[in-house]
Structure 1
Amino acid sequence: MAFQDLIIQIGSLGRFQILHMIFVLICHALSAPHTLLENFTAAIPSHRCWVPILDNDTASDNGSRILSQDDLLRISIPLDSNLRPDKCRRYIQPQWHLLHLNGTFPTVTEPDTEPCVDGWVYDQSTFLSTTVTQWDLVCGSQALNSVAKFIYMTGIFIGYIMGGHLSDKFGRKLIFTCSLLKMAITETCVAFAPSFLIYCSLRFLSGIFSSTLRTNSALLILEWTSPKFQALVMALIFIASGVGQTLLGGLAFAFRNWHHLQLALSVPMFLLLIPTRWLSESARWLIMANKPQKSLKELKKAACVNRIKNSGDALTLEVVKTIMKEELEAAQTKPSPLDLFRTPNLRKRICLLSFVRFVSVMSLLGLLINIQYLSNNVFLLQCLYGVVCIPANVLGNFSMNYMGRRMTQLIFMSVLGISILAVVFLPQGQLL
């Protein structure tokens, strides 16, 4: 805890930390929506097979122009098990006799059908364009839509592993800045992907940079605050993510073309590169990396911005080395990830908390990345999710301060489980 003494000496939550926090929160608000972006850019609209008699403007066979669209649809598209027009098959030949059956079916052999060999017609009332409509990811290719989400989540998983290792080796600020730049580039390029393979590749890279960005941005502010305020900082970070999810719902409602929505969330990230030149590296990491001179410089800068009188003058290289003597000695040995599992108590805690995190994230993300299937109004549901995050994290921070981490974890995990079970038993289409 020696480093925390230095933080208290220069101001544990002053103007320096607040300015850094505002920047970090903005980064989280713009990066978090990319996780659920495919709820809109990869939405699956209503669709049916393209048929000449319906969709070819020059078709006028058998006087079809005098028939209504419903009649033409009835003789061109078979009905599925729910008595709705089939999404993936069509009649090989128009079934004119169906116009005279008054809703009944003859006892003759079923007419021959075929897949949608000429493509699909998509409903554009909600989304003008999505990746599904661009690359026809429906029917036999619908599984590719889930593959794209899986690839992005795999990138996030790899990014969390790489991000921690790289930040320990090269510093929080450098990895954060590089991740921000690369995420902005890849997510902007996604909007211009010429093929589905390139789209998935770019999303995979974006997932890596996204998790690396969020990991290092959180470390940059957490390592500049004392333990007293770290729970508050994390709550604010999650609140910023909720604001970003609400922003996603609003932008998705405004931009119904997936290219435009992708650019609307990606291009502003380039602007965040400008303030990074004034961002300070973690003084703690500088000390652990055996760079006490640079650490002292950052500590004095923080004390000056926080207007702590005489604190900057009292900070000297000898003082820093004395206070951080144990940490500097520990930095001489290269730790291994296996060290986390050598001590029984630490091993038990890591395994239990990792399991809790895995269960909560898997169940929650399982719902959120398929939010289109929960409601007909996906825009409103997305905004509600973001809005609910704000009071939930305020309540969580209050609960941790007065009830402790353990009891808070137990209560909120129970509420999460009950809520997910309640969703299962709700009638389809009754969420909103």
Structure 2
Amino acid sequence: MGFDVLLDQAGSLGRFQILQIAFFFVANVIAYCHILLENFTAAIPGHRCWVPLLDNHTASGNDSDILSQDALLRVSIPLDSNLRPEKCRRFTHPQWQLLHLNRTFPNVSESDTEPCVDGWVYDQSSFSSTIVTKWDLVCESQSQKSVVQTLFMSGSLLGSLIFGYLSDRYGRKGIYTWCLLQMAIADTCAIFAPTFIIFCTLRFLAGSSIGIIMSNSLILITEWTMPKSKHIGVTLTFCSFSIGQMLLGGLAFAIRDWHTLHLTVSIPLFVLSLLSRRLVESALWLVTTNRLEEGTKALRRVARINGKESAGEILTVEFVRSNMQEELDNAQNKPSTFQVLRAPKLCLRVCCLGFVRLGATVPLMGLILNLQELGSNIFMFQVIFGAVTFISRYSAYLMMKHTGRRISQSLFLFLVGLFIVVNTFLPREMQTLRAILATLGLGAASAATTAFSVHHIELIPTMFRSTLSGVNNMFGRVGSVLAPLLMTLVVYSPHLPWIMYGVFPILCGLIVFCLPETKNQPLPNTIQDVENATKKLRRVKQEDICMKVTQF
């Protein structure tokens, strides 16, 4: 409560907080686009093998100059099981006899065909260029697209651990500015990458910044606002992610060249990194790290921006120290994190929460990172998905209000798995139904994530809430890495990754029932509160029964 007094003197929701939230909203909208870039920059266009009769304009003979394109394609490319031209094989020699057959397609032996040894020809009706067309990431190399996404998410996991530690040690603002600049440089240089390996490396470096850009913005917002106003900044932060999804869909629809699209979402980060230097470091972090003079200056600056000129005389170092003495003592006497390992019930909670976080993150990232697998109009999907996640967050709160935390999460996770599994086995011709199920699945996954964030806070004791939240965020990063990594299994079966996306949340939905219900329950403050929670709950129930019997 001590810092709340200081913040009340400086202004709890004034001009400074409004400008800060507006800046982070814009920054998160731009930064979130970088997570989903491969949906468009790595889109796989229609393709077939390069063949001399069709693509070498100097070739002639066998009446190839007077035959139609369809006829030349028929004698050059075999048909697949759906009677469509093969994407990854061609005839070793033109099969002229096929022109004399009327709707009959004899079996062609493997020896009559060969891989695309001379390269591919790509359909440019949707995209003028992608990294797929630049480095021929098709057929045997198709899984390389998922490798790019996996490396980006792996960078996010590693960057969250490294920069998260640096943020706690050297401050939120400086690390935030550096991560904005690092992402801007890495993704701008990725446009000019001469090889696929260098491109992947630069995307890894860009990914290492994204986690801190989002988390530090949320931390700075919450540490500069009063408890009664925190929900405004947090809600707008989550909404900015949905706006970022919709913005990327619109930009990709207008810009079909991957170089230009990459540059369009990267250049604003340079401007944002310069503007972020005007941010104010968290006074709460400064004070709790014994930098009282700097913390006092930060509070005075915020008071001046909020129009409270007289607060400068009140906000002195002695006033700050007197109000924060209890927090300073608690920071010095904080129990060791290793005590968590000696608390079996708390360890069980952390493990269960980690698996539930995975169950919500894997299908969510699997859906938003693989739009092309769901239908042809990926631009529309991107915009719709952003709108659905925007709405579903509020649906989760309404659900939890009436049914509690456990039932809400379990129901949402079960629906995610059901929608994905059913969608997996629907034929691609049923585009409308597939789009509806994918949209419902994403909405349920987003709602499950929102419900989880509330349940998680209510299960972790206050003294370890920040540390254990970091551990749980690591599970979320692992889920983000696992989602694109599972797509590499498509070489074995096109349905296998999606089956795993569907089964995983259903299993994790059952794990939710290993956690206690926290609706209308007080927050645990210490490890002892968690370890004795069952006994207290049992005692409360017995008292309720005795009360009912007495009343009867």
Question: TM-score interval w.r.t. the shorter chain?
Answer: over 0.9
CA distance change for structure 1 residues 270 and 397 in 2, over 3 Å: closer, same or farther?
farther
Report the CA distance shift for 1:114/1:154 in structure 2 as closer, same or farther (over 3 A). Answer: same
TM-score (norm 1): 0.92
Identify the match of residue 422 of structure 1 among 419, 423, 429.
419
Asked if structure 1 preserves the Cα contact closer than 8 Å seen for 2:76 and 2:94, the reply is yes
Measure, in 1, the Cα distance between the counterparts of 2:297 and 2:90: 72
Shift, 1:273, TM fit: 2.1
Letter in 1 for 2:304: C
Name the residue aligned to 2:84. 84
Superposed displacement of residue 227, structure 1: 2.2
Q: Quote how far apart the aligned CAs of 1:18 are.
A: 1.1
Counterpart contact for 2:177–2:277, Cα < 8 Å: no
CA distance in 1, matches of 2:326, 2:395: 37
Q: Does structure 1 retain, via aligned residues, the 8 Å contact 2:172–2:281?
A: yes
1:130 corresponds to which letter in structure 2? T
Deviation digits for residues 232-273 of structure 1 (CA, Å, limit 9, x no counterpart): 322111111111111100110111111111001101111112
Distance in 2 (alpha carbons) for counterparts of 1:98 and 1:331: 81
Cα shift at 1:49? 0.4
Deviation at 1:343, TM superposition (A): 4.8
Change in 2 beyond 3 A, CA 1:51/1:268: same
Answer with 348-357 or 84-93: which moved more: 348-357
**Number of residues paired by the alignment?**
429
Distance 1:133 1:35 in 2: 21
Q: CA deviation at 1:25?
A: 0.8
Alignment check: 8 A CA contact 1:135 1:196 kept: yes
Offset at 1:135? Answer: 0.3
TM-score w.r.t. structure 2 length?
Answer: 0.73
> Take 1:81 and 1:303, find their aligned partners in 2: how far apart are those partners?
71
Question: For residues 338 and 177 of structure 1, do their structure 2 counterparts lie closer, same or farther at Cα, with a shift above 3 Å needed?
Answer: farther
User: How far apart are 1:74 and its partner, in Å?
Assistant: 0.7
Report the counterpart of residue 41 of structure 1 in structure 2.
41
- In structure 1, how many angstroms separate the alpha carbons of the residues matched to 2:6 and 2:397? 25
The structural deviation recorded for 1:220 is: 1.3
How many angstroms apart in 2 are the aligned matches of 1:343 and 1:78? 64
- 1:407 maps onto 2:404 in alignment: yes
Aligned to 1:252: 252
Structure 2 gap ranges (5+)? 436-552
Compared CA separation, residues 3 and 399, structure 1 to 2 (3 A): farther
Q: Which residue of 2 aligns with 1:388?
A: 388
The letter of the residue matching 1:387 is A
| Residues 137, 381 of structure 1: alpha-carbon distance in 2 compared, 3 angstrom cutoff | same
Aligned residues with identical type, % of pairs: 49
1:132 aligned partner: 132
* 1:285 corresponds to: 285
1:8 corresponds in structure 2 to 8
Asked if 1:305 corresponds to 2:305, the answer is yes
**Residue 269 of structure 1 aligns with which residue?**
269
2: CA distance between counterparts of 1:199 and 1:284?
39
Counting only pairs closer than 5 Å after superposition, residues 170-209 of structure 1 correspond to structure 2 as 170-209=170-209
2:146 matches 1:146? yes
CA contact (8 A) 2:286 2:292 kept: yes
Secondary structure at 1:192 match in 2: coil
Aligned position for 1:374: 374
Residue identity matched to 2:289: A
**CA separation of 1:333/1:121 partners in 2, compared to 1, >3 Å: closer, same or farther?**
farther
Deviation at 1:410, TM superposition (A): 4.8
Note the C-alpha offset of 1:379: 0.1
Partners of 1:363 and 1:250 in 2: CA distance: 24
8 Å Cα contact 2:359/2:413 also seen in 1: no
Taking a change above 3 Å as real, the CA distance of residues 237 and 159 of structure 1, as seen in their structure-2 partners, is: same
- Which residue identity does 1:411 align to in structure 2? S
Contact 2:246 2:386 survives alignment (8 Å): yes
Q: In 2, distance between residues paired with 1:7 and 1:102?
A: 83
Rate the CA distance shift 1:134–1:109 in 2: closer, same or farther, 3 A.
closer
CA contact (8 A) 1:238 1:389 kept: no
Structure 2 residue aligned with 1:360: 360
Query: What CA distance in whole angstroms lies between the structure 2 residues aligned with 1:230 and 1:47?
Result: 51
1:290–1:339 CA distance, 2 compared to 1 (3 A): farther
Unpaired runs of at least 5, structure 1:
none
CA–CA distance in structure 1, aligned partners of residues 301 and 342 of structure 2:
39
Structure 1 contact 231–397 (Cα < 8 Å) conserved:
no
Residue type at the aligned position of 1:44: I
Q: Which has the higher contact order (CA 8 A, sep 6+)?
A: 1
Q: CA deviation at 1:75?
A: 0.4
Alpha-carbon displacement from aligned partner over 1:386-412 (angstroms, at most 9, x marks no partner): 122333335556777xx39x9367536
Tell me by how many angstroms 1:353 deviates.
Answer: 3.1
For 1:226, give the aligned amino acid: M
Q: Deviations over 1:125-159 (max 9, x none)?
A: 11111111100011111121111111111111112
Query: 1:72 Cα deviation (Å)?
Result: 0.6
Return the alpha-carbon distance in structure 1 between the equivalents of residues 170 and 24 of structure 2.
Answer: 19
The structural deviation recorded for 1:336 is 6.3
CA 319–413 in structure 1, closer or farther in 2 if over 3 Å, else same? farther
Q: Deviations over 1:254-298 (max 9, x none)?
A: 111111110011011111123222210000110122100010111
Deviation at 1:121, TM superposition (A): 0.5
CA distance in 2, matches of 1:166, 1:73: 59
d(CA) in 1 for partners of 2:110 and 2:405? Answer: 61
Contact 1:15 / 1:305 at 8 angstroms: preserved in 2? yes
| Separation in 2, partners of 1:189, 1:97 | 51
Distance change (3 Å), C-alpha of 1:69 and 1:409: farther
Residue identity opposite 2:147 in structure 1? V
